[in-house]
Structure 1
Amino acid sequence: MSYTLNRLLENTPFDEAEARTRSALAERGFGVITEIDVAATMKAKLDREMTPYKILGACNPPRAFAALQADPRIGAMLPCNVIVRAVEGGVEVSAVDPVASFAEVEAEGARAIAAEVREIYVDLIANL
């Protein structure tokens, strides 16, 4: 099982791919509560150049709350990250597969929520 759900947006500018990803998340009830500009961080911390790469920490509050109620330690796996990164030929968007991420979680309720989020992310990635 892969740990990410992926799609290559061919010949798409980075800013457009990021905007489409943010919009698709919002349409499905997810907010971006954390954001890491990896390229800017590597430049600032290591003086190293890299292609555009952002990590968007997405959260669906009702599902996050339910997962935390099922298993308070699940917070170590939240938010559900989505990356947007420039690659040859376009931009790749990858979302964490919450089913793979929660594979060792014993709380059935948390695993059920992971399955719900996975289905949302599969649809989101397919329809970018």
Structure 2
Amino acid sequence: MSYTIDRLIGNAGFEEVDKRTRQALTDHGFGVLTEIDVKATMKKKLDKDMSAYRILGACNPGMAWEAIGLEPRVGAMLPCNVILREVAEGIEVSAIDPVASMTAIDNDELKQVAGKVRDMLLKVVESI
């Protein structure tokens, strides 16, 4: 089972895909709560060079509210991370598959919420 929802975009630069990703997230009810520039962090902390790599911590407040109501400790697995990374063929966008990440929690109602969020993230990734 794959743990991410992926799309390769070969006809746009990194910042353009970032902009399109943020807009797609907004259009589907998500906000970006956190952002990590992994490339800059690795350079600063380890003096290592790598291709562009950014992690966006995305959250749909309604879905988060529902999930936390069902399983209060699920916050340890939030927000839904979406990564953008530069690869030879272009920019790869990968969103966490919430269904895959929730397999560790034995709660069928939570798994239903995760399925709804996965459907939303599929639409996000498809629309970029």
Aligned length: 128
Indicate the RMSD between aligned Cα atoms, in angstroms. Answer: 0.8
Report if the CA contact (8 A) 1:54-1:83 is conserved.
Answer: yes
Deviation at 1:122, TM superposition (A): 1.2
Report if the CA contact (8 A) 1:11-1:89 is conserved.
Answer: no
What residue number does 1:16 align with? 16
What residue number does 1:2 align with? 2
Per-residue CA deviations over 1:44-79 (Å, capped at 9, x if unaligned) read 000111111000000001110110010011011100
Output the amino acid matched with 1:48. K
What residue number does 2:44 align with? 44
Stretches (4+) displaced over 3 A: none
Report if the CA contact (8 A) 1:70-1:110 is conserved.
Answer: yes
Deviation at 1:89, TM superposition (A): 2.0
1:87-126 mapped onto 2 (5 Å cutoff): 87-126=87-126
Question: Normalization by structure 2: what TM-score?
Answer: 0.97
Output the amino acid matched with 1:104. A
Deviation at 1:107, TM superposition (A): 2.0
Unaligned runs of 5+ in 2: none
Unaligned runs of 5+ in 1: none
Deviation at 1:24, TM superposition (A): 0.2
Deviation at 1:11, TM superposition (A): 2.8
Distance in 2, matches of 1:38 and 1:71, equals 30
1:64-83 mapped onto 2 (5 Å cutoff): 64-83=64-83
What residue number does 1:34 align with? 34
Deviation at 1:127, TM superposition (A): 2.0
Output the amino acid matched with 1:75. G
Output the amino acid matched with 1:83. I
